[in-house]
């Protein structure tokens, strides 16, 4: 019991996560059009990543995610980059987040190391269906490589396994994490409806599995339509007592044919939804694709009101 209480304390008092990174980098003038945008922004414009971290902390984020969602040896290898480049990028992203956090000594800001799913390294949107052309062992090896690079460097930072499309990938990560029971991880799934993850398994089954892992400090849903979040929180609640985190997309829709976002996103409406998610049982709320500091400001306001009640 004491061990699990100790793990859970990494998120004590944390209610507000940051928002989208890519859209904010774009806003700051970074070129993120390439398939390995994070690699090249980490290399060419680390100051822009720092600026995004700063903007989110200043607006109320109590936890920020590193700029490493797409960083993996496999993804880098496809573009002729050596494995050491991927490992170095992972470390660099962590160091940038630590630098940003150190600039705000007055408040506690947690760091979560963003680790995208296998599909994110394929650059073809496969994370949104989870039908990968690989073995379960490949999947575990993909995740183990990144965990091994980070394991000795982490203090109380969290490994954020996110946009997970399937139970199979969650299991592969659980197996990859096994040699490091002391690490802290959160597992966040991308969902296609109010009950199922993108690949089709029940979210509650995924939550039951990851909830039993010694490393798990929170379970959540991200990169999903905001309208689905309230019922999905209910699904998580039935399966696990772990803290729940949700960071959906802004509410705009992705038009795959025209390759553009459609609709509009209103930060105030997002904040109103955040209040509903806190009331439904979420401990931590942030934003995924297309959310910006204005959204996180509204989430922070909602958090203050929710915690006061």
Q: Which residues bind Zn ion (CB under 5 A)?
A: 223, 288-289
Shortest distance, CB of residue 91 to Zn ion, whole angstroms?
Answer: 24
Shortest distance, CB of residue 190 to Zn ion, whole angstroms?
Answer: 8
**Backbone dihedral angles phi then psi of residue 288, each to the nearest 5 degrees:** -110, -135
CA distance 272 to 163: 24
Residue closer to Zn ion, measured from CB, 221 or 223: 223
Residue closer to Zn ion, measured from CB, 197 or 288: 288
- Between the alpha carbon of residue 271 and those of residues 37, 62, 172, 230, 247, the distances in Å are 29, 16, 35, 14, 12
Residue closer to Zn ion, measured from CB, 13 or 125: 125
Shortest distance, CB of residue 289 to Zn ion, whole angstroms?
Answer: 3
DSSP secondary structure of the chain: -HHHHHHHGGGTT--BB---SHHHHHHTT----STTHHHHHHHH-HHHHHHHHHHHHHTT-SEEE-S-TT--HHHHHTTT--HHHHHHHHHHHHHHHHHHHHT-TTS--EEEEEE--HHHHHTSSGGGT---SS-HHHHHHHHHHHHHHHHTT-SS-EEEEEEE--HHHHHHHHHHHTT-TT-EEEEEE-BSSSSBBTTSSBHHHHHHHHHTSTTEEEEEEESS-GGGHHHHHHHHHHH--S-EEEE---S-EEETTTTEEES---HHHHHHHHHHHHHHT-SEE---TT--HHHHHHHHHHHHHHHH-
Shortest distance, CB of residue 287 to Zn ion, whole angstroms?
Answer: 9
Residue closer to Zn ion, measured from CB, 28 or 254: 254
Residue closer to Zn ion, measured from CB, 69 or 132: 69
Shortest distance, CB of residue 277 to Zn ion, whole angstroms?
Answer: 16
Residue closer to Zn ion, measured from CB, 223 or 239: 223
CA distance 73 to 81: 8
Residue closer to Zn ion, measured from CB, 64 or 289: 289
Shortest distance, CB of residue 29 to Zn ion, whole angstroms?
Answer: 21
- Reported as type and span, the H/E element at residue 169 is helix 167-177
Shortest distance, CB of residue 191 to Zn ion, whole angstroms?
Answer: 12
Shortest distance, CB of residue 228 to Zn ion, whole angstroms?
Answer: 13
Residue closer to Zn ion, measured from CB, 227 or 238: 227
């Amino acid at each position: 019991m004491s061990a699990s209480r100790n793990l859970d304390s990494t998120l004590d008092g944390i209610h507000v996560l940051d928002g989208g990174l890519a859209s904010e980098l774009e806003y700051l003038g970074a070129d993120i059009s390439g398939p390995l945008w994070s690699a090249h922004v980490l290399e060419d414009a680390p100051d822009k990543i720092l600026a995004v971290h700063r903007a989110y902390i200043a607006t109320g984020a109590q936890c920020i995610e590193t700029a490493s969602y797409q960083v993996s040896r496999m993804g880098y290898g496809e573009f002729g980059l050596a494995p050491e480049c991927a490992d170095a990028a992972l470390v660099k992203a962590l160091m940038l987040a630590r630098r940003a956090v150190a600039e705000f000594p007055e408040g506690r800001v947690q760091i979560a190391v963003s680790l995208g799913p296998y599909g994110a390294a394929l650059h073809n949107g496969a994370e949104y269906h989870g039908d990968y052309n690989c073995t379960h062992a490949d999947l575990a090896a993909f995740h183990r490589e990144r965990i091994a690079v980070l394991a000795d460097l982490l203090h109380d930072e969290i490994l954020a396994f996110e946009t997970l499309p399937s139970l199979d990938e969650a299991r592969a990560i659980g197996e990859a994490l096994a040699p490091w029971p002391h690490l802290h991880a959160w597992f966040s799934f991308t969902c296609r409806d109010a009950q199922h993850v993108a690949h089709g398994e029940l979210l509650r089954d995924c939550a039951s599995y990851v909830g039993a892992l010694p490393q798990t400090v929170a379970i959540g849903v991200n990169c999903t339509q905001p309208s689905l979040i309230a019922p999905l929180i209910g699904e998580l609640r039935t399966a696990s007592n772990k803290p729940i985190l949700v960071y959906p997309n802004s509410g705009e829709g992705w038009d795959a044919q025209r390759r553009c976002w459609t609709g509009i996103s209103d930060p105030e409406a997002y904040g109103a939804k955040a209040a509903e998610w806190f009331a439904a049982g979420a401990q931590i709320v942030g934003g995924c694709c297309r959310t910006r500091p204005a959204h996180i400001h509204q989430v922070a306001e909602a958090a203050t009101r929710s915690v006061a009640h």
